[in-house]
Structure 1
Amino acid sequence: MTVSIRQLHPHFFGEVSGVDLSKPLTPQEAADIESGMDKYAVLLFHDQDITDDQQLAFARNFGERENARGGTVTKKEDYRLTSGLNDVSNLGKDGKPLPRDHRTHLFNLGNCLWHSDSSFRPIPAKFSLLSARVVNPKGGNTEFADMRAAYDALDDETKAEIVDMICEHSLMYSRGSLG
């Protein structure tokens, strides 16, 4: 099959078809997807029922995985996943919802706020790959913003004002905002 990407938003966001993520990608498919990421910033792959291992294999088409050390408060013995993927679930190792006062639940509340994955790291991740395995039928929406499109929409005066500025991002700031 041939990878096809249809733009879904005037400034970013594409819907991918013509690829099965449960199978290894050809070099051309990987190149087409990476080109789509460069163009659209966010890509949606519908109806991809993949395992953790298949998601990792897909991710490896685009470079080495980020060392996620320091990006969680979950103790190793409490990890639900053994694949090395980050788990942003509200479930514990037993498959039941975490108590409201559980440290992992409290930490993950920060994911409900607007945030940028890994931008607090000296070398941020190239892409974030999200895969919802169980989706709540109501609510739980994930929204995206493309800072490239936001910058492009700025007037020239604002661009000149911010050209030499440096943005600092702290992982703990959003978590601290939640108490």
Structure 2
Amino acid sequence: MPLIVEPILPRFGAQCSGLDLTKPLTQEDVKQVTDAMDTWGVTVWRNTGMNDDQHVEFSRNFGYLERVPRREGVRFRLPHRELFDASNLNVDGEITQDVAAIQYRKGDRLWHTDSAFLEKRTSYSLLLAHQVPPEGGETWFADTRSAYEDLPQDMKDLIEDKVGINTLWWSRKMAGADISDEEIEERPRAKHPLVHVHKGSGRKTLFIAAHTMDVEGMPKEEGRALIKQLIEHATQPQYIFSVKWNAGDMVIWDNLASMHKGGDFDYSKYKRDMRRTTVREGTEPHQMETGDDPFSELFARTPKIVDIQGARYAGR
């Protein structure tokens, strides 16, 4: 059945329908989805009817799925390591009261790209809503391709060969966590160009995030001012839209062509159960193994203020 695509903005975002995502897809079905993603960067799928197993299996159509950290002796809420827990719930499914978990999640409300803090980047993120608050809790998306194209030429020239230094703990610090620069600098960081060519569309795009702490070769003050300027440019009204969720909705976004952030809601009053798979850039459909485990390595040395001890992760 042909995919039905309804654009949200003239150059960015589309609501899609016409495919049953709970069933195995043909190669042509998968191509329709990836073509839509290459064109629009973000696709919204309403009332999918998907469960956890179907969510994981559908996601495998696009490459290797990253896995949450292993934690010895930790009980997990979700049934698959491929599902990252983006909720405000504890392992028993109740609203968490854990201070570190609450502090950690504040970073998700800054403009970012998933896994920019890893050397191996994430291409698609696929987020499925299981339970949502009656108000708030939307997700915002920003078009980093159009934002790059609209930059003045002198800015394009300035950033053409610049490299960003990314770390998860910088975004947590920016969200209010009491983490020193020294703590951040002694932990792993990842370097990525501020500008790259998006493979699926051939368009140049910004690759920036709340995780981007510094610009290689620039004084810290200048580099951080440049990052701030680029994020503010890319999140102007003409480049952004929000998705208001209902249970069963899925949104797929391309981290190599967009930024996103979570919207505010009453964290202590309403449950928000969201589960995400993330596809590693450059991997093959249905690839099951890579032999590495970057998230376990990353979270082996977590600053105390945001050390959530595996409570925010799903696993098996």
**What is the TM-score normalised by the length of structure 2?**
0.53
Give the Cα separation in 2 of the matches to 1:23 and 1:51: 11
Matched, 1:119 2:116: yes
Q: Is the 8 A contact 1:24 1:58 kept in 2?
A: yes
Partner residue, 2:192: none
Cα drift, residue 75 of structure 1: 7.5
Q: Retained in 1: the 8 A contact 2:67–2:84?
A: no
RMSD over aligned CA atoms reads 1.8
- 1:50 corresponds in structure 2 to 50
In the alignment, the residues of structure 1 paired with residue 123 and residue 110 of structure 2 have an alpha-carbon distance, to the nearest angstrom, of 21
Q: Would the aligned equivalents of 1:5 and 1:16 in 2 still touch at CA under 8 Å? A: yes
Shift in CA distance, 69/96, structure 1 to aligned 2, threshold 3 Å: closer
| 1:25 equivalent in alignment to 2:22 | no
Give the equivalent residue in structure 2 for 1:91: 89
Read off the aligned partner of 1:110 and give its amino acid letter: G
- Contact kept, 8 Å, 1:78 with 1:92, in 2: the verdict is no
Q: Say whether residues 1:154 and 2:141 are aligned partners.
A: no
Gaps of 5+ in 1: none
Q: Which has the higher contact order (CA 8 A, sep 6+)?
A: 2
User: What is the TM-score when the length of structure 1 is the normalising length?
Assistant: 0.90
CA–CA distance in 2 between the matches of 1:67 and 1:79? Answer: 13
Once the two structures are TM-superposed, the CA of residue 49 in structure 1 deviates from its matched residue by 1.9
Greater CA deviation, 57-66 or 109-118? 109-118
Kept after mapping to 2: 8 A contact 1:110/1:174: yes
Residue 105 (structure 2) pairs with residue 108 (structure 1): yes
SS at match of 1:56: helix
Identity %: 35
Residues in 1 aligned to 2:36 and 2:73: alpha-carbon distance in whole angstroms? 35
CA distance in 1, matches of 2:69, 2:98: 24
CA drift at 1:109: 2.0
- Stretches of structure 2 that go unaligned for 5 or more consecutive residues are 178-316
List structure 1 segments (4+ residues) > 2 angstroms apart after TM superposition: 66-70, 103-106
Query: Cα 1:168–1:7, aligned 2, differ >3 Å: closer, same or farther?
Result: same
The whole-number CA distance in structure 1 between the counterparts of 2:85 and 2:132 is 14
Residue by residue, what CA displacement relative to the aligned partner does 1:48-89 show, whole Å, maximum 9, x if unpaired? 12111101111110111124449xxx8862421121200011
